Amino acid sequence: LTGLAGELDNLRRHYRQTLQNLPIPACSIGDDGEILMWNHTMEALTGISADEVVGAKLLALPEHWHALLDDFNKGNDPHRYKHRLDLRGKPHWLNLHKAALNGPEHPEGGSIILVEDQTETRLLEDELMHSERLASVGRLAAGVAHEIGNPVTGISSLAQNLKLETDNPEILDTANQIQQQTRRISTILQSLMNFSRTGNHAHATRYEPVDLHRCVEESINLLSLGDNSNGIQYENGCPQDLQILGDEQRLVQVFVNLLANARDASPENGRIQVTGKRDSYSAIIEVIDEGTGIPSDQQDHVFEPFFTTKASNKGTGLGLSLVYSIVEEHYGNIQVESPAHPTSGKGTCMRLRLPAYEPDTDADSRPNERS
C-alpha cells in the first residue's frame, strides 16, 4: 500500500499494536458476540490465548468468563466496580469498563471492554481495615483482662479459702457458686482474647487445600466427647472431594461452633445435617438443625460480639463472632436462614459460601475451537 492508503494502514497497525501491548486486560466484542480482539494482558489474566478465542463467540469461553463478559456487554452500565470472581480457589476483584465502537468509521459496531484487576488493592484494603478493627478489639480485651482478671482471681481465691474454713453447707454452696461465676468470667475474657487474635490475614500465605468433609467429621468427633450430646444425631453430607484453600484448624473451629449452637438449639434426639456442594467456583456448606429457629428481628445481630439468644449463663455471645471473622478471613461469607423448614416453621440453616479449590493438575476448561 502506498500514499494515503499506506498511511492509514500504518496508523491502523499502530493502534492495534497499542491495544495488544496495553498493560490493562482488554478485548473487543462484535454486535453478534464475536470476539474480535483479545490482548496479551487479557491472556495473562484469563489463561486463555488469543488464538483460541479470536473469531469465536463469547459462548465459547469458560462459563465464569462467558457469564461475566456477556452479562456486562449486554448491560446498559458502562462501568462495573469490584466484581468478585473466584479463580482456582482464590478471589479476584475486577473493575470493568465498556465503550461502544460505532459511528461512520466503525459500521460493524461492537464494543471494547477493559478489565482492571483490583485484587491486590482489595487485599491490602481488607488487611488494613481488619488490622485496625482487631487492634481496637485487642486494646479493649487487654484492658478488660487487666482490670477484671486480677480481682476475679482474688475473689476465686477468697471463695476457695472460705471452703476450707467452714463446714456449713449453705456457705460451702455459696462458695461453689462464687467459683463457678468467676470461672465463667475467665471464659468470657479468654473468648474475647481469642476474638481479637482471630482473622489475621498474614496466615493467608500458609493456606493449604482443606478437605471440608474431614473438617466436619473432626468437629463432630470433638463434640461427641462431651457429656451433653442429648441424643443428637449428626449427618455429615459434605462431599469428600469438596476442598477450599485455608487453615484447617480454624475451619474446624468454625464447624465446632456452628454444630455446638445447632446442638444446643435442637430438641432431644434431634438431627443436625451438614450438606455441601459446588456452585460454579464456590463451595456452599449448610448446617441445618431442627430447633425452634431464630426470630427474624434477631437474625441481623447474631454475628455481633456479645449477642446471644441463649440464657445468660449458657453462652458469651462470641462464638458466632469468631465464626464470622474466620469465614471472612477465608474470603467467604455466612448467612442465617430461619426457619430452615418452612412447612414446620422450625430449624435454622447456617449457610457458608467459600471459594472452592481447584487442584493445579485439573485442566482448565477451554473454549471450543472455532469453525
Is-contact 225 259, C-beta < 8 A?
no
Is-contact 222 258, C-beta < 8 A?
no
Q: Which CATH architecture does the domain made up of 119-197 adopt?
A: Orthogonal Bundle (1.10)
3-state secondary structure of 336: strand
* Spatial distance between the Cα atoms of 175 and 169, rounded to a whole number of angstroms: 10
Average pLDDT of the segment spanning 299-319: 67
- Name beta bridge partners: 351: 286, 335
**Within 13 Å, how many C-alpha atoms sit on residue 114's CB side?**
14
Question: Which CATH code is given to the segment(s) 202-364?
Answer: 3.30.565.10
Tell me whether the CATH fold assigned to 3-117 matches the one assigned to 119-197.
no
- CA angle centred on 353, ends 340 and 61, rounded to 5°: 125
For residue 367, pLDDT over 50 is answered with no
Question: Which sequence spans correspond to the domains of the chain?
Answer: 3-117, 119-197, 202-364
Nearest to 208 by CA among 50, 364, 360: 360
Is-contact 231 268, C-beta < 8 A?
yes
**125-150 confidence digits (pLDDT tens):** 877 776 676 667 667 766 777 678 77
- pTM equals 0.55
Q: How confident is the model at residue 366 (pLDDT cuts 50, 70, 90)?
A: very low
Q: Which residue has the higher pLDDT, 37 or 311?
A: 37
Q: Which CATH architecture does the domain made up of 3-117 adopt?
A: 2-Layer Sandwich (3.30)
DSSP assignment of 51-89: HHHTTSBGGGS-HHHHHHHHHHHHSS-SEEEEEEEEETT
**328-357 confidence digits (pLDDT tens):** 888 898 989 988 887 888 899 999 999 998
Q: How confident is the model at residue 309 (pLDDT cuts 50, 70, 90)?
A: low
